[in-house]
Amino acid sequence: MILCANFKANKTRQETRAYMAVVESFVFANEIRDTVIVFPPFTALEHDPRNVLIGVQNAYPALKGAFTGEITLEQLDEFDVKTILIGHSERRHILGETQEEIAQKFRFFAQEGFVIVYCVGEPLEVREAGDEALMAYVDAQYVGIDLTYPDLIIAYEPVWAIGTGLVPTNDQIQAVHASIRAKTSAPLLYGGSVKVENAQEIMALSNVDGVLVGSAALSASDFCEMIAQATELTTKGE
Ligand code: 13P
């Protein structure tokens, strides 16, 4: 299983340090073999994660240069960051990133060998328009993306489920994941209002290889609980 915590624009450097100490020691003490990735804000990047991968929530596709307000490869290299989230719905919808820009970002960081957590997901009106419209919408989010990239992880995050407490039914999650699975062998995460109370049930669904968690992962103890749930499932499956 793969468990990701996306802090978004939450937590200070100090708070992130305290959080990482809890999660690092939990992963170490419990000999967790599932993959744990934390995406803190840029200001909280540190040099020395040991048992947990650190990724960034965004970066500009260039080595360095005149890109005011952006972070590029040179700065990520300084922190040994080799994991990135691309295509998150907040970047698509709030920051206005186009599919073309997203694809360019994907190509650049794939070329640099990054682990890429690539997000797709539909807004409510598309979900309400039916399965065909939904899959056509999600398919359009793959334009320019190499689905055979070996370090690709895909996260299906319906926009209407993010931060709302709404979650698709198990059947809806499985249906979308099955159709993504038909296109790629990349691990598939589900994201959108995942919390301690529903994480294990979601992770147990077919074609769900982990979760991408926002608000509920801001609590280190809740995130550790979800890691423990994943490990329980992994151990059961062995
Ligand atoms: P929530 O878990 O807060 O719904 O956010 C999901 C998300 O966007 C993770 O990237």
How far, in Å, from the CA of 177 to the mean position of ligand 1? 17
Whole-angstrom distance, CA of residue 112 vs CA of residue 61: 10
- Provide the whole-model pTM: 0.97
- Total tally of structural domains belonging to the chain: 1
Q: Pull the structure tokens for residue 64.
A: 């360095």
For residue 180, the model assigns a pLDDT of 96
Cα-to-centroid distance, 65 and ligand 1 (Å): 31
Does the Cβ of 207 fall within 6 Å of ligand 1?
no
Atom of ligand 1 nearest to the CA of 213: 2
Pocket test for ligand 1, best of 164, 211, 212, 218 (most atoms within 8 A of CB): 212
Q: Which domain holds residue 216?
A: 2-237
pLDDT attached to residue 236: 85
Q: Is the CB of 87 under 6 A from ligand 1?
A: no
Q: What pLDDT does residue 113 have? A: 98
Q: Is the CB of 37 under 6 A from ligand 1?
A: no
Q: Whose CA is nearest to atom 7 of ligand 1?
A: 214
Which residues in the chain land under pLDDT 70?
A: none
Q: What per-residue confidence (pLDDT) applies to 238?
A: 75
pLDDT for the residue numbered 49: 73
Task: Render 21-56 in DSSP notation, one character per residue.
Answer: HHHHHHHHHTT--SEEEEE--GGG--S--SSSEE-B
Which residues participate in catalysis according to the annotation? 88, 157
Which pLDDT tens digit goes with each residue over 79-135? Answer: 999 999 999 999 999 999 999 999 999 999 999 999 999 999 999 999 999 999 999
Q: Is the CB of 216 under 6 A from ligand 1?
A: yes
Tell how far the Cα of 66 is from the centroid of ligand 1, in angstroms.
Answer: 31
Whichever domain contains 102, its CATH number is 3.20.20.70
